Every structure is written in structure tokens, then in C-alpha cells.
Amino acid sequence: MPVAAIIPVKRFGAAKRRLAAALGAEPRAALALAMLGDVLAAVARSRGIEHVIVVTGEPAAERASREHDVDVVADPRDAGHSQAAMLGISRAVELGATAVALLPGDCPLLDPSELDAALERISEGRVGIVPDRHGTGTNALLLAPPDAIKPAFGEESRDRHERLARAARHAAAIERLDSLALDVDTPADLAALGEVLRAAPQRAPRTAAALGALAQA
């Protein structure tokens, strides 16, 4: 089953505003770029991904994506994560994908082997929902077919995605992937990520380097 990975990326000026109390605009942009680089590197090592699509209106993200030789879909409106995901799904269908993995650009700990194990569980009519570390949000969706449901990311989206799957008469499966549980939206998330990477910087070397530079600034 051909699977496309779709990674929506906000413009860095609009990204991570809840980190503003801890980081200025430029450091937030540098961190966002580093995290995206680690995600792209992890996805490139996945055996189960046939196409990689980044949806963005951010020039720096577009440049980084092209360096990894992935497909870039323009997002001129930057209308939100769910809307960007839909743009990516349309492109994935054009490329012949029969399933998609909607992945975050801010989960730099992504383990390609863990992702591959989840991809092996994809089947027609199945919606895989990857919750965040709090258990209430959604950090990733694995959809077969690609338009199985219309993504509806945001607060409390885990339950929302389950309801959407059931309404569409698809199987809803909760996929607890540790390496996709920690996204970085708040200072608490940033502290948790920093703790992980101080112990194991090789898990996300670009992000570890960016956090190290911030600590020295």
C-alpha cells in the first residue's frame, strides 16, 4: 500500500507563540527549523513511506524540505494545521498514495522504526490516531484511504477524530507511539524535550544543537 507522509509547517513567525514567554521570535524560528530538519531526517529513514510532502508557506521550511528532496506544496493562506493537511492529502492522491501519515513538524524525537511498525498496521478503512503525551490531543493520523476523514486537529482532537472515524464507518485505532507523543507547544513541553535530549542528543541532533545554542545565548 503506497503511503505518503504529509508534514504541515506553519510560517515560523506564526509558530510556537505559546513559547513567547520563554523564547523570542528568532530563537523560536531557529528551533522550529531544527525540529523540522530532524523530522525530515527520520522520515527519510522510514521503510514504509513512499512519498514525503511538506505543506508550507514558510520560505525557510521550503528550502529545508527541498534539501531533503521532498515534494513541497505551497500554503499561501497558512489557514491552519487541518487545512494544510487537506492540501497535502490532495497532493498525495495525485501521486497515487492509497494511505497517508499526517505527521507533525515539531516532534523531533520521531523514531522511524516505530513509525514503520505503525505503518504496517495500516489497512483500508482504518483511521490510526496518535495521541499527544496528555492523551487528549492528536499528534498524527494514519489514514486509509487518504480522505477517510477530514482532519480536525486542535485541543481535544483525539475524541473528535474517533467520532469522525465512526461517523464515516471506519475503524478507529489508538496508536500510542512514544516518539510522537512529545510535541513542543508550551514552555513545559520545551523543558521536557530538553531533558530528553540532554540525556540522548543523538535522538534529535539538530534540535539538541539548537537548544544548546539557546542555553549559551
The predicted-structure confidence for 137-192, as pLDDT tens digits, reads as follows 999 999 999 999 999 999 999 999 999 999 999 999 999 999 999 999 999 999 99
Q: Are 136 and 158 in contact (CB under 8 A)?
A: yes
The predicted-structure confidence for 90-127, as pLDDT tens digits, reads as follows 999 999 999 999 999 999 999 999 999 999 999 999 99
For the chain, the average pLDDT equals 95
Minimal CA–CA distance to 124: which of 103, 148, 101, 140?
A: 148
The pLDDT of residue 86 is 98
* Residue carrying the nine cell digits 493562506: 77
The pLDDT of residue 53 is 98
What gap in Å lies between CA 124 and CA 171, rounded to an integer? 9
The pLDDT of residue 172 is 98
Average pLDDT of span 55-66: 96
